[in-house]
């Protein structure tokens, strides 16, 4: 019998970044570090590649655009990593879009919101996330890629 040689490629991980993260590296390095968003993108691409995966890296300062990225991810992504930044703590629209995703969703933060002001303790994103990684700077993103790869690899105690 002829071998099926068609390769099914895994869809990319969408890595979605919210408002002001485009300014990373330029301001408040004591909280958010010195690494720019462009540098984080390169590190994420390399980490995804190490798992045989690819990444689409997105940023917007607009809530509606973030919702549109999430709607696109429904059919174009294998998983979503999201740092919704300030919208983490306010956006029901982003929560609604996340709840429509039949994909692993990892919430990430550079800082640890649990150690900061009370208004950062509520996360709407967490209500729809498979898991959350926070407080580890750039490593939060890299560990989130490892987490998506682990969920995609199969059932070892992880779930959507
Ligand atoms: O720690 C995180 O990753 C946050 O999502 C960052 C948000 C904050 O509102 C969340 O509570 C935690 C703020 C992003 C602001 O980005 C800046 C970038 C450069 C300089 C100042 C802020």
What are the pLDDT digits (tens) for 58-85?
999 999 999 999 999 999 999 999 999 9
Domain that holds residue 62: 13-153
Query: Has residue 38 been placed in a domain?
Result: yes
Query: Within the chain, where are the H helices?
Result: 29-32, 37-50, 63-76, 92-99, 138-153
Beta-bridge partner residues of 82: 16, 107
Give yes or no for residue 129 having a pLDDT over 60.
yes
Ligand 1 centroid from CA 93, angstroms: 19
List the catalytic residues: 32, 109
State pLDDT tens for residues 4-54.
Answer: 455 678 999 999 999 999 999 877 778 888 899 999 999 999 999 999 999
- Number of domains forming the structure of the chain: 1
Structure tokens at 107: 């919430």
Pocket-forming residues, ligand 1, beta carbon under 6 Å? 20-21, 23-24, 27-28, 32, 83, 85-86, 88, 109-111, 113, 120
Within a domain: 2: no
- Least confident window among 18-22, 31-35, 149-153, 155-159: 155-159
CATH code of the domain covering residue 59: 3.40.50.9100
Q: What gap in Å lies between CA 27 and CA 156, rounded to an integer? A: 40
| Alpha-carbon span 151 to 159, nearest angstrom | 7
Q: For residue 136, is it within any domain?
A: yes
Is residue 4 in a domain?
A: no
Q: Global pTM?
A: 0.93
Give a yes or no: residue 7 inside a domain: no
Report the SS3 class of residue 108: strand
Q: Give burial (CB, 10 Å; 0-12/13-18/19+) of 54.
A: middle
45 falls within a domain = yes
- Does 1 reside within a domain? no
In a domain, 5, yes or no: no
What is the predicted pLDDT for the residue at 156? 64
Q: For the segment 78-127, what is each residue's pLDDT rounded down to a tens digit?
A: 999 999 999 999 999 999 999 999 999 999 999 999 999 999 999 999 99
């Amino acid at each position: 019998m002829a071998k099926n040689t068609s390769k099914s490629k895994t869809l990319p991980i969408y890595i979605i970044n919210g408002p002001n993260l485009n300014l990373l590296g330029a301001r408040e390095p004591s909280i958010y570090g010195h690494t720019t968003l462009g540098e984080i993108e390169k590190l994420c691409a390399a980490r995804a590649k190490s798992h045989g995966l690819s990444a689409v890296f997105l940023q917007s300062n607009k809530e509606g655009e973030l919702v549109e990225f999430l709607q696109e991810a429904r059919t174009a992504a294998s998983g979503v990593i999201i740092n919704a930044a300030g919208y983490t703590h306010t956006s029901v629209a982003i929560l609604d879009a996340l709840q429509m995703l039949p994909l692993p969703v990892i919430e990430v933060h550079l800082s640890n919101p649990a150690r900061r002001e009370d208004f950062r303790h509520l996360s709407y994103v967490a209500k729809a996330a498979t898991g959350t990684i926070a407080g580890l700077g750039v490593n939060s993103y890299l560990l989130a890629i490892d987490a998506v790869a682990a969920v995609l690899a199969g059932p070892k105690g992880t779930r959507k």
